[in-house]
Every structure is written in C-alpha cells, then in structure tokens.
Amino acid sequence: MELKMLSLDGNEAGAVTLNKDIFGLEPRPDLIHRCVVWQLAKRRAGTHKVKTRGEIARTGKKLAAQKGTGGARHGSHRVNLFRGGGRSFGPVVRSHEIGLPKKVRALALKHALSAKAKDGGLIVLDKAAMTEAKTKALSEHFSKLDIVNALIIDGTEIDTNFRNAARNIPHVDVLPIQGINVYDILRHGKLVLTKAALDALEARFK
C-alpha cells in the first residue's frame, strides 16, 4: 500500500510503502473497544471516598432505652439512618484498572492504525520541524495540509520549536512515538505520522 509523503509546506516529498500487517488490516471494532475501555479505566484516579459508620466522629452510646419510649429501637447515632451518619456501601479509594494482554493491546493499535488508513485519515510527513516556534506559521502550514483536528506522532524526540508552536493550536496534539495509543488516534480526525514515526512503528511490530 503506497501513500504520498508530504512536507510541511504541503508539497509532495516522495512516497512510502505502508506495511499491510500494520495498516492493511480489516478494522475490528471489538478489539478497539476493549483497548479504549482499558485505557479509560486505567487513567481513572479512583480517589472517591465517603465515610462509613466506623469513621464518623459521633457517640456510639445508645440513644434511648430499648423499650418504653414509643419510638423505634435505635442504637448508635452513627448509622446511615441519621443525618450526618455513615454511608452504607459507599465508594472507597480503589484502582479501576482492568487487565488486558499485551498482545491484544498491540493488535488493537494495529487495527486503529488500519482504520485511519482505510478512511483516508492518515498523513505521512517527511519531518515535523521548524526553524522558529511560531504558532501562526505552523497554522499556515496546517491549513495547506488541511489539518484541523489531528494527532501528530514524531520519532523518539520531538523538535522543540514544532512542539512549542503546536501547543497553542486547538484540537492538535503532538506526541513522541512512545506515546502513541488507540484512544488518542480515534478521538482525532486525522493521524499525522512522520517518516521517523513510521520507521519506529514498523520496527516495533517486526
């Protein structure tokens, strides 16, 4: 599968052959969904917490006599029936992380990449570098490339000027190849890979 490689100016800078084992698969929504659920569960803080009856600072003395008052039989004032009492079965601090095998995660990434290639949302750049960190100049380059909502993946090191220029452009995220993930690929309209990122992906899945 061949794809034109572009420069930041929007001009053609050659062609690349995409690996069909990475970009030529028939996308499987079930695998992609599993990976997205795993990612979103993993990033949850899980710091929600309420007090149980054992943590309420209130007397545990029996309110009234067991019999003879004409009222209900109550013991501790810390129970959940009373205002200010503890909550029964409330949330506690815990991890929401679920398990997902590495092979399934790798396969889901391949299918997400294949989905972008299939729907025409994949762009390959020769390099993502600028001489100055100018947001206006980078926006002009993006308009030539028809980039409005995109995830840009570079090699192991991102050009500092490019990263700083892209920082103020809405709906555009720049990540090194180590940070590529299924959720970010799906939530952006286009996926932009540099030649370095493409080579790193092929080496990763070799």
- Give the end-to-end CA distance of the chain in Å, rounded to a whole number: 17
CB neighbourhood size of 126 (10 A): 17
Residue 178 pLDDT more than 90? yes
Any idea of the CA torsion for 112, 113, 115, 116, to the nearest 10 degrees?
Answer: 120
| Domain span including residue 89 | 46-95
Q: How far is CA 2 from CA 5, 8, 55, 115, 152, in A?
A: 9, 19, 64, 16, 20
CATH number at residue 40: 3.40.1370.10
- Report the pLDDT averaged over residues 195-206: 93
Residues 83 and 110 in one domain: no
Indicate whether 160 and 106 sit together in one domain: yes
179 with 142, same domain: the answer is yes
Note the pLDDT tens digit of each residue in 63-103.
Answer: 999 999 999 999 999 999 999 999 999 999 999 999 999 99
Q: Do 55 and 139 fall within a single domain?
A: no
One-letter-per-residue 3-state SS of 80-109: CCCCCCCCCCCCCCCCCCCCCCHHHHHHHH
Q: Is pLDDT of 166 > 90?
A: yes
Predicted local distance difference test score (pLDDT) of residue 2: 87
Instruction: Kindly state whether residues 156 and 75 are assigned to the same domain.
Output: no
* The two structure tokens encoding residue 97: 């992380």
Query: Are 73 and 113 part of one and the same domain?
Result: no
User: Is 83 found in the same domain as 154?
Assistant: no
Do 79 and 30 lie in one domain? The reply is no
Identify the domain boundary among 72, 95, 118. 95
194 with 122, same domain: the answer is yes
* pLDDT at site 206: 82
C-alpha to C-alpha distance for 95 and 61, rounded to whole angstroms? 36
**How many structural domains is the chain composed of?**
2
